[in-house]
Amino acid sequence: MSRVEIESEVTGNVWKIEVKIGDKVETEDVLMILESMKMEIPVEAACAGTVVELLVKEEDVVEEDQVVAIIET
């Protein structure tokens, strides 16, 4: 098994987290939604697997390229 780090593409606020630890996801499933400059930006799974870590919570501020979740494949 390998672990894949999922990164934020933008600086913004975590508006809504769509998954829980232990959830199985497919490639491009939406893990969370960020709000940046009044726009909603989805953070998608880069691969299929199981969510093993969520490194942010709703209302957290994230930076561009910050790791926000880890998926185990």
- Within 10 angstroms of residue 10's Cβ, the number of other Cβ atoms is 16
| Domain boundaries along the sequence of the chain | 3-72
Q: How many CA atoms lie within 13 A of 33 on its CB side?
A: 7
Q: What is the pLDDT of residues 19-72, one digit of tens each?
A: 999 999 999 999 999 999 999 999 999 999 999 999 999 999 999 999 999 999
Look up residue 35 and give its amino acid: E
pLDDT band at 1 (very low <50, low <70, confident <90, very high): confident
Nearest CA to 67 out of 26, 28, 9 is that of 9
Q: What is the pTM of this model?
A: 0.95
The DSSP letter of residue 58 is T
Assigned CATH for 3-72: 2.40.50.100
**pLDDT in the model for residue 58:** 98
**pLDDT in the model for residue 37:** 93
The DSSP letter of residue 10 is S
**pLDDT in the model for residue 64:** 97
